[in-house]
Amino acid sequence: FIPWKKLYHRYVRREGWALQRVEQILQEFSITKEQQGCVLGLVRLVSSTGPKVDPSGVLQILGTHPLFPKAQLCVLNKFPDLQSKPGAEKLWAVVAVMVLFSASVGDIQRILACFQSPCSRVAVLEVTEVLHCMATLLFAMRDRSIPISNRIHYNIFYCLSLMENSCGIVQPLEEGRVNLCSSGGADVKLTHEQQRILNHRIEPGQTVKIMAFAGTGKTSTLVKYAEKFQELKFLYLTFNKAMAEKAKKVFPRNVTCKTFHSLAFGSIGRHYKDKGKLNFSKMSVYSISFLLQNRKDQSLFIRGKMVSQTLENFFSSSDEEICEEHTPLWFKNTHGQMEQVSREEKKVS
């Protein structure tokens, strides 16, 4: 997921594969000591490898950066072919030039702040990948005595280091502090990732996946999303009843909170309510073995376990009838060794 970051650190450690890969990239984009204007090759590399994103909102915010007009003019003069290319290529070319023009770490931090704006549709991880791409090539250019200021690499490296070692909470440029007290939460700051989710209005038939670690604020984000789009109806599913009951106290009225089991029971299970509950856990292997006929050279307990596994596989499936496919493929014999279940044994089981 972070190929340029990995390549950068592997190149710094002088790993063979990384050295060869970087050399190949330098040659491909004419970034050599003999080539005049080799820095233009670096910009073109960033332009062609940058993530394919919608640049409209970002370009508008980047326009507030002091280096943007100068960088945009440079790209217009040096890369006229990019004017007819997709907007993303021109965006990353402008960003690369802005980084090259940066006089301090603060200049690059202000570039990152533009991408952290609620109006930005670009993830910060995508921007840091672009910075790692530039850092890799700048480091390699220094190794080859290509005349370029080491200050640029230092600014990028220091900016990335500050970002990776920060607490990770970013103050959004427009929304600011958000109060979750109405939903039972504390007064918190939304990160730029959370704000991007709130800025996206889900369309009918569309699937949106939010990937995050435990405790990073997924539920808080969903609460704010439901509060923002109160005209929409949502279904919140969780694994246990306690979490579902807690969610009912947190989410607004346009959210129905259920467990997966209750959802399934409401549409399917209720039809079998009068038939009673099958408690398979009380059907022990020992009790099953008493119902089976004795067979030479095979323990009744082992056969009972095979039957138990067969029934368990059937109950866990969506099949209406039990069949040979539900039988286990292997069993452990009386000597503790694994043996494959024969076709004849499957039919008997």
Give 289-310 pLDDT, tens digit per residue.
777 777 666 677 777 888 888 8
What is the pLDDT confidence band of residue 282, given thresholds at 50, 70 and 90?
A: low
Same domain, 95 and 235: no
Lowest mean pLDDT among 137-146, 167-176, 295-304: 167-176
- The answer to whether residues 120 and 201 belong to one domain is no
Q: Are residues 250 and 316 in the same domain?
A: no
Residue 188 banded pLDDT, cuts 50, 70, 90: low
Instruction: Using a pLDDT cut of 70, give the percent of the chain over it.
Output: 84
Q: Which residue has the higher pLDDT, 327 or 299?
A: 327
Is 201 a member of any domain? yes
Please tell me which residue, 205 or 293, carries the higher pLDDT value.
205
**Per-residue pLDDT band at 170 (split at 50, 70, 90):** very low
Q: What is the mean pLDDT of residues 19-47?
A: 90
- Judged against a pLDDT cut of 90, whether residue 236 lies above it is answered with yes
Instruction: Tell which of 164, 185, 208 closes a domain.
Output: 164
195 shares its domain with 246? yes
* For residues 226-252, average pLDDT: 91
Residue 248 scores a pLDDT above 80: yes
Q: Given a cut of 50, is residue 233 above it in pLDDT?
A: yes
The pLDDT of residue 80:
85
Final residue belonging to a domain, choices 117, 135, 164: 164
Position 54 scores a pLDDT of 74
- Which residues span the domain enclosing 122? 3-164
Within a domain: residue 272? Answer: no
pLDDT at position 171: 37
Domain shared by 199 and 137, yes or no: no
Q: Is residue 275 part of a domain?
A: no
What is the model's pLDDT at position 10? 93
Q: Which of 77-81, 276-280, 284-288 has the lowest mean pLDDT?
A: 276-280
Is 80 exceeded by the pLDDT of residue 252? yes
Same structural domain for residues 10 and 151? yes
Query: Is residue 274 a part of any domain in this protein?
Result: no
Average pLDDT of the chain is 81
* pLDDT score for 96: 93
Task: Say if residue 32 is in the same domain as residue 72.
Answer: yes
What local confidence, expressed as pLDDT, does residue 117 receive?
Answer: 74
Number of domains in the chain: 3
- Does pLDDT of 280 surpass 80? no
pLDDT of residue 257: 94
3-state secondary structure the chain: CCHHHHHHHHHHCCCHHHHHHHHHHHHHCCCCCCCCCHHHHHHHHHHHHCCCCCCHHHHHHHCCCCCHHHHHHHHHHHCHHHHHCCHHHHHHHHHHHHHHHCCCHHHHHHHHHHHCCCCCCCCHHHHHHHHHHHHHHHHHHHHCCCCCCHHHHHHHHHHHHHHHCCCCCCCCCCCCEEECHHHCCCEEECCHHHHHHHHCCCCCCCCCCCCCCCCCCHHHHHHHHHHHCCCCCEEEEECCHHHHHHHHHHCCCCEEEEEHHHHHHHHCHHHHHHHCCCCHHHCCHHHHHCCCCCECCECHHHHHHHHHHHHHHHHCCCCCCCCHHHCCCEEECCCCCEEECCHHHHHHC
Residue 108 lies in a domain: yes
User: Mind listing the pLDDT tens digit for each residue in 58-76?
Assistant: 788 888 899 999 999 998 8
Would you say residue 104 has pLDDT above 80? yes
| Confidence band, pLDDT 50/70/90 cuts, at residue 181 | very low
250 and 300 share one domain: no
30 inside domain? yes
